Amino acid sequence: MVLMNPVISKLTGKLVVLASASPRRLEILTNVKHLKTPDIVIGADTVVTVDGLILEKPVDKQDAYRMLSRLSGKEHSVFTGVAIILCHEKEEIDYQVIDFYEETKVKFADLSDDLLWEYINSGEPMDKAGGYGIQALGGMLVEYVHGDFLNVVGFPLNQFCKKLGLIFSPPGSLTHNSTQNSPQGSPVDTVPPCSENGEAEPQGISDPAALDLTSRGTIQMQNVREHETEDGKEKLSKMIELMDGFKASKVLFTASKLRVFDVLRSSKTGELQAEDVAQEIKASIMGTERLLEACVSLGLLQRTGKEYTNTAMSRHFLLSDGPLSLQGYIQHCNELVWPLFTHLETAVREGTNQHEKAFGKTSNLFQDAYYSRHEVKLRFMKAMHSIAKVSGRDVATAFDLSKYKTACDLGGCTGAMAYEFAKAHPGLSVTMFDLPEVIEMRGHFRPHDADDRVSFVAGDFFKDELPKADVYILARILHDWSDEKVHILLSKIAKACNPGCCVLVSEIFLDEDRKGPSRGLLQALSMTEGRQRSASEYSLLLKSHGFTAAQVKHTHNLLDAILCVTE
């Protein structure tokens, strides 16, 4: 098949060298053009990343198995980096490099060992990044692809064509530029247009081969600009996102607090005009309109004509009675975390924590701050509840617990996580253990289909005897405490444990190099005596109390999990 794409046809008459041994890339490129004269070198390489690891080509069958089983049941990213080198030869060779990359997300189904070995024995994985070829047998492993399919095959043709379009921008598209005569006598663009700060703006070149190569300065400047275009634009949009991040959060908090999403859902047709929303939320029309417009820009609402509706994301997470509602956590962020973060600078300067700055010194955060007033306690519990509802199922199903009969969810708060464990494991009875101030509120959070395998015990896990169980669950508990306190708690659990019992810790796991995820590192800024840890730090703490054989699960939800067993 020969496709004379208007952009690809710019390559006609030029010798294109594909700097790659990949037969798939050769096929993608030769399918779209005929090659003649030398001018351009195209290089590309593809890697697969999962769980922070880069997977290249497997070296043998075991390596292919290791890669494919790591990908099983998970979403991963496929990156192809492409370099286009334009060579101009006159008195001496000059060249221009344009590079870019494309990311495509691919999710594998849960794959049985039998299927994996059958696939590996077909020989297909051996010369392919990540150990599979989506365009052939490997396609059967894939549940979904988000993004450019050909990028997964090995060449992001769509992005490549866009780049060619930029390089060979059609004549007449550079109308702002001053021109000068080329050696051939036709006007060519040499001076890029100026931006507000007087710097030349990056641009494509009309025909690199036709440029006056004696004016090397101009060519080199354009080369630099080309790099700045891609890189600079990405950096700028990241900067803008960071600078405006707090405004976006506050829009979400305010629209949630004013119940905008509930109001839209409750209207007969699910859509309302700004005036109607303003009336319902008892706010000004102008202010409401601005808020709704900002929500549209953030993907929280949609607007058709004058009618606003919730987006799928808002229906999923922002309706106050939705099963995965994050409203409790959003209100906690608005009322507690937002004021906390206004003290960040002082807290950093003085080495104190933000809680202390905002609310004064407390000897126990829970009893002295969160549980001192009924409405604050309820708000805190609603926040915990919403996170546990959203992450609970993934945590509860992270490991095979089928051989265990009893579990104890220490610091289980509203019981949301305990109910998820009971739902996921039909043979498991779960005791929810928390402070008396929390247990007395359990009626507020009892699910309508409450399972009687979940029971509640009041106590202090640092002082009181712990209920006996086969599995101890510590969901978002250890990050609140210093290593010293964690050792006290783990030694109590170890004492209560029989051989073969296990501890399941669920937290945000920091990357081992502590460079991410930013959600964990941002949360660390508002911690009191606790700290965020990596999976191996949790594993070491557990190991020192006899809990070994750690299995780690990155759930891709709000919380990860580690399971350790006593010998």
Ligand X SMILES: C[S@@+](CC[C@H](N)C(=O)[O-])C[C@H]1O[C@@H](n2cnc3c(N)ncnc32)[C@H](O)[C@@H]1O
Of 154 and 520, CB closest to ligand X: 520
Contact call for residues 494 and 566 (beta carbons, < 8 A) = yes
Contact region with ligand X (CB under 6 A), list: 104-112, 268-276, 342-350, 460-468 = 460-468
* Residue 460 is a binding residue for ligand X (CB under 6 A): yes
Q: Which of 366, 447, 521, 524 binds ligand X (CB under 6 A)?
A: 366
Interface with ligand X: number of residues (CB under 6 A): 18
* Minimal distance, residue 288 CB to ligand X, in Å: 34
Contact region with ligand X (CB under 6 A), list: 10-18, 189-197, 252-260, 430-438 = 430-438
Of 157 and 438, CB closest to ligand X: 438
| Beta strands 406-410; 142-146: pairing state | unpaired
Of 289 and 507, CB closest to ligand X: 507
Of 417 and 471, CB closest to ligand X: 417
Closest residue to ligand X in the complex (CB): 411
Q: Which of 125, 156, 208, 411 binds ligand X (CB under 6 A)?
A: 411
Contact region with ligand X (CB under 6 A), list: 57-65, 274-282, 454-462, 548-556 = 454-462
* Minimal distance, residue 480 CB to ligand X, in Å: 6
45 a catalytic residue: yes
* Residue 461 is a binding residue for ligand X (CB under 6 A): yes
* Minimal distance, residue 406 CB to ligand X, in Å: 18
Of 119 and 433, CB closest to ligand X: 433
Question: Rounded distance, CA 293 to CA 382, Å?
Answer: 29
* Residue 408 is a binding residue for ligand X (CB under 6 A): no
* Residue 508 is a binding residue for ligand X (CB under 6 A): no
For residues 72-91, one letter each, b for 16 or more C-beta atoms within 10 angstroms of the residue's C-beta and e for the rest, the string is: bebebbbbbebebbbbbeee
Q: Which of 412, 520, 530, 546 binds ligand X (CB under 6 A)?
A: 412
* Minimal distance, residue 386 CB to ligand X, in Å: 9
- Helix (H, G, I), strand (E, B), or coil: what is residue 294? helix
Contact region with ligand X (CB under 6 A), list: 129-137, 148-156, 340-348, 406-414 = 406-414
x/- binding map, residues 468-487, to ligand X, per CB under 6 A? -------xxx--x-------
Whether cis (ω within 30° of 0) applies to the bond prior to 517 is yes
- Helix (H, G, I), strand (E, B), or coil: what is residue 285? helix
Contact region with ligand X (CB under 6 A), list: 13-21, 73-81, 432-440, 443-451 = 432-440
Of residues 31, 144, 140, the one with CA closest to residue 78: 144
* Minimal distance, residue 470 CB to ligand X, in Å: 18
Output the CA torsion sign for 533, 534, 539, 540: negative
* Minimal distance, residue 338 CB to ligand X, in Å: 18
- Contacts of residue 131, defined as CB under 8 A and 6 or more positions apart, other chains included, come to 55, 57, 58, 63, 64, 67, 68, 71, 120, 125
Which residues lie across from 77 on neighbouring strands? 49, 105
* Residue 432 is a binding residue for ligand X (CB under 6 A): no
Of residues 459, 64, 231, the one with CA closest to residue 239: 231
Question: Rounded distance, CA 539 to CA 216, Å?
Answer: 59
Contact call for residues 329 and 383 (beta carbons, < 8 A) = yes
CA distances to 106, 403, 492 from 117, rounded to whole Å, are 20, 28, 44
Q: What single DSSP character describes residue 515?
A: -
* Residue 421 is a binding residue for ligand X (CB under 6 A): no
* Residue 388 is a binding residue for ligand X (CB under 6 A): yes
Question: Rounded distance, CA 169 to CA 531, Å?
Answer: 53
Question: Rounded distance, CA 454 to CA 420, Å?
Answer: 10
List, in sequence order, the alpha helices (H) in 282-326: 285-297, 312-317
* Minimal distance, residue 369 CB to ligand X, in Å: 11
* Residue 413 is a binding residue for ligand X (CB under 6 A): yes
Contact region with ligand X (CB under 6 A), list: 5-13, 131-139, 351-359, 433-441 = 433-441
Contact call for residues 42 and 83 (beta carbons, < 8 A) = yes
Contact call for residues 511 and 517 (beta carbons, < 8 A) = yes
* Residue 384 is a binding residue for ligand X (CB under 6 A): yes
Both tokens of 438, joined, read: 């929390």
List, in sequence order, the alpha helices (H) in 514-556: 518-524, 535-543
Contact call for residues 535 and 555 (beta carbons, < 8 A) = no
* Interactions with ligand X, residue window 434-453 (CB under 6 A): 434-435, 438
One of 45, 94, 451, 511 is an active-site residue; which one?
A: 45
> Which residues are annotated as catalytic?
45
Which residues here bind ligand X, judged by CB under 6 A? 366, 384, 387-388, 411-413, 417, 434-435, 438, 460-462, 475-477, 480
